[in-house]
């Protein structure tokens, strides 16, 4: 362990590594993509990319970046494909045209428009897609719809806690691929439901795609260096979240296209739900065969390489390893690391503050996706189509707002170090809560729909910025268990969505007002976050505090495995950088001079 830290310290100081030429040869070998270009030199630090080349699809970094946000986009599109169609899905089931009821209705209402509006005879109008008219749905009540919305986020709370540690163990690529392929099944099943029970079941299983967020954040965290990891995380997540807004805007159009071709209401909404899982399945296959787990390669290949070297009595600085020891040296037993990663994250109280911040940012965004169209339609007398388009504004702000939050966090990091990231999160969270209260105060008589949309835009922008700023802090909380931290914080979004959907039962405006105040209170908790080795928003770190390598060494003892040097370097907490932080803190400066920052 000491030798590894000495190598890391020597690298920061520009001295020769104690491990001689063999170690350098090995490093050069593992940081090559399919084109043979080594990931060292300008643009890379320990294999991690220091800038984002948006127009590139080069493996492994940019291929993983684009695969991560696109997969999340498709997941979000399928996740929220049902709410835009709820006007049709809530219609009563259709009766046979030969039934006595329909035969009598045809006599009583020769005009099809009158037939579709009648409470009983609407069951005999399979083509009438007007609001409150026709049939072809599942016959849902308002209570059924609320229960359905709650079920649509329930599974996410569970999977987000465990998916990060699983990815830490088996690799992001395989975990993501399996998730997409398996969850395309309930997506297809959604097009075949015939009753409320079936709808609740498929919405629960579809909600498991929410775990894709954690995988997206973990993947970009592995591929990009500290100087751009905030922007990379925020951009990939923000563009992925666009799927929510895109779903609100697109699904209704696809439904209308099927209707224009002569399909019934029942056929149209079911066919509309079939295309998102198709893309989900295809994306899962592409990720499995055409992307990489990390800059070093795929986890399975790395373990296989270690095992082969162990059989030959060779290893990286460790001689005569057994097969079992070689597997441990390459990452340890998967289940052991996954469990310890989650436990380590759960024991860190900083994670729970970030959990709360994310609950009242991303969690509220999920509430918006499920409830905002109906709220705007009722509060400002909009049509169903107008309400849906207005609500899509919230999700579409992800295009720029979430990356903006990551960018602000990165800039604050350059000026004030990790403490700057905490300031960015604090300011964004407080501003988000204030804008939510402003939106909740808008009424038809006081501000009109124009004022409400302006307030909605600022609220959406600040909410997405908070999400980006929140996950820009995640990689620094517990560098030896990033997957566990990401999973726990990501679960906060689902917890917030569950609570928010229950609050909506008391009424839209009171619920949004309460969520605004809770967001403000959560923002006030950010100043008490304390990062060992870095301090808090207002106070610098104590000199006797345990620095990064020592914390990672403890984790290694827990799982009986030595972490890779890149894990230490990734969070910018090597011994040299820790000493530099202490020196600058003692001089009253917040600046952290990290390599590549």
For 61-88+138-223+231-296+336-528, which CATH class? Answer: mainly alpha
Q: What is the pLDDT of residue 250?
A: 86
How does pLDDT run along the chain (597 residues), one tens digit per residue? 444 444 444 444 444 444 433 333 333 333 444 443 445 567 888 888 999 999 999 999 999 999 999 999 999 999 999 988 888 999 999 999 899 999 999 988 888 888 888 889 999 999 998 878 899 999 998 889 889 988 998 898 788 778 888 887 888 999 999 999 999 999 999 999 999 999 999 999 999 999 998 899 889 988 998 888 878 887 898 899 889 888 888 888 888 899 999 999 999 999 999 999 999 999 999 999 999 988 887 877 777 776 676 666 554 443 333 333 333 333 444 455 667 777 888 888 899 999 999 999 989 998 988 888 778 877 888 766 677 788 888 988 988 998 899 899 989 988 888 889 999 999 999 999 999 999 999 998 888 889 999 999 999 999 999 998 998 898 888 877 777 888 788 888 888 998 998 888 888 889 999 999 999 999 999 999 988 777 888 887 665 454 444 444 444 444 444 444 433 443 333 334 444 444 444 443 333 332 222
User: Residue 141: helix, strand or coil by DSSP?
Assistant: coil
How far is Cα 77 from Cα 275, in angstroms, rounded to an integer? 10
**Can you give the pLDDT at residue 300?**
73
* Torsions phi, psi for 44 (to 5 deg): -140, 145
Task: Check residue 142 and give its pLDDT.
Answer: 81
28: tokens are 């050069």
CA distances 443 to 178, 369, 379, 505, Å, are 46, 20, 7, 19
Domain with CATH 1.20.1250.20 in the chain: 61-88+138-223+231-296+336-528
In three-state secondary structure terms, 18 is coil
Name the strand (E) or helix (H) holding 423: helix 418-440
Report whether the peptide linkage leading into residue 60 is cis, meaning its omega lies within 30 degrees of zero.
Answer: yes
Which structure tokens are listed for 493?
């979004």
């Amino acid at each position: 362990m000491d030798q590894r830290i000495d190598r890391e310290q020597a690298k920061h100081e520009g001295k020769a590594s104690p491990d001689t030429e063999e170690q350098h040869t090995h490093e050069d070998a593992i940081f090559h993509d399919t084109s043979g270009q080594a990931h060292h030199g300008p643009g890379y630090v320990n294999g991690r990319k220091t800038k984002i080349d948006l127009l590139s699809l080069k493996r492994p970094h940019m291929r993983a970046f684009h695969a991560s946000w696109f997969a999340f986009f498709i997941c979000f599109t399928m996740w929220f494909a049902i709410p835009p169609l709820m006007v049709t899905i809530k219609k009563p089931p259709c009766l046979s045209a030969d039934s006595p009821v329909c035969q009598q209705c045809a006599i009583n209402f020769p005009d099809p428009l009158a037939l579709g509006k009648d409470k009983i005879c609407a069951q005999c109008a399979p083509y009438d897609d007007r609001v409150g008219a026709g049939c072809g749905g599942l016959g849902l009540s308002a209570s059924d719809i609320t229960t359905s919305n709650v079920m649509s986020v329930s599974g996410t709370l569970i999977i987000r806690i465990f998916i990060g540690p699983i990815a830490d163990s088996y690799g992001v690529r395989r975990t993501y691929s399996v998730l997409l392929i398996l969850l395309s099944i309930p997506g297809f099943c959604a097009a075949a439901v015939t009753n409320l029970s079936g709808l609740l079941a498929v919405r629960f299983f579809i909600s498991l795609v929410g775990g894709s967020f954690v995988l997206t954040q973990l993947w970009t965290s592995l591929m990009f260096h500290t100087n751009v990891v905030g922007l990379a995380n925020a951009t990939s997540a923000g563009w992925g979240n666009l799927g929510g807004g895109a779903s609100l805007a697109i699904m209704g159009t696809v439904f209308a296209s099927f209707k224009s071709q002569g399909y019934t209401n029942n056929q149209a909404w079911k066919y509309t739900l079939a295309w998102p899982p198709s893309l989900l399945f295809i994306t899962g296959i592409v990720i499995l065969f055409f992307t990489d787990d990390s800059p070093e390669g795929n986890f399975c290949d790395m373990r296989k390489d270690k095992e082969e070297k162990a059989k030959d009595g060779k290893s990286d600085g460790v001689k005569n390893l057994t097969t079992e020891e070689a597997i441990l040296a390459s990452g340890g037993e998967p289940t052991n690391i996954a469990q310890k990663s989650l436990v380590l994250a759960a024991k860190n109280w900083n994670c729970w503050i970030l959990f709360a911040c994310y609950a009242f940012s991303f969690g509220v965004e999920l509430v918006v996706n499920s409830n905002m169209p109906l709220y705007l339609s009722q509060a400002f007398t909009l049509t169903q189509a107008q309400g849906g388009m207005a609500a899509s504004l919230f999700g579409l702000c992800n295009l720029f707002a979430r990356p903006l939050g990551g960018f602000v966090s990165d800039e604050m990091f350059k000026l004030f170090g990790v403490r700057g990231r905490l300031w960015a999160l604090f300011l964004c969270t407080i501003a988000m809560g204030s804008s939510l209260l402003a939106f909740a105060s808008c009424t038809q008589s006081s501000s009109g729909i124009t004022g409400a949309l302006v307030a909605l835009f600022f609220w959406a922008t600040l909410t997405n910025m908070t999400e980006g700023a929140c996950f820009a802090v995640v990689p620094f909380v517990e560098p030896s268990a990033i997957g566990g931290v990401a999973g726990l914080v990501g679960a906060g979004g689902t917890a917030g969505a569950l609570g928010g959907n229950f609050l909506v039962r008391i009424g839209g405006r009171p619920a949004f007002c309460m969520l605004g105040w809770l967001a403000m209170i959560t923002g006030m908790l950010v100043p008490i976050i304390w990062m060992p080795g870095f301090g808090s928003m207002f106070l610098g770190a104590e000199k006797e505090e345990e620095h990064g390598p020592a914390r990672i060494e403890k984790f290694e003892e827990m799982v009986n495995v030595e972490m890779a040097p890149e894990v230490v370097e990734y969070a910018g907490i090597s011994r040299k950088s820790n000493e530099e932080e202490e020196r600058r803190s003692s001089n009253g400066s917040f600046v952290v001079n990290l390599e590549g920052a």
